[in-house]
Amino acid sequence: MDKLLGILKGIRPDVDFENETSLVDDGILDSFDVVSIISELDDAFGVQIRIDELDPENFNSAASIMALIEKLKK
């Protein structure tokens, strides 16, 4: 999780990723942020995020992003 938080803070240092639970739903992250996150996740964790996984629920919090990474690593 620390690695993920480092990536997220590198993209958007102004966001409290530890506590925020509606990153996409509240418009905190826009589509450009999500694309940047996806690219960084591929590089850092070796996961390929497919179009059908681009559901806002997968990107609303650091915990949901981490859950997606864990699911894709299996």
Alpha carbons 73 and 59: distance in angstroms, whole number? 17
Q: pLDDT tens, 14-72?
A: 999 999 999 999 999 999 999 999 999 999 999 999 999 999 999 999 999 999 999 99
Cβ neighbors of 61 (< 8 A, separation 6 or more) are 17, 20, 21, 22, 23
pTM: 0.94
Q: Return the amino acid letter for 25.
A: D
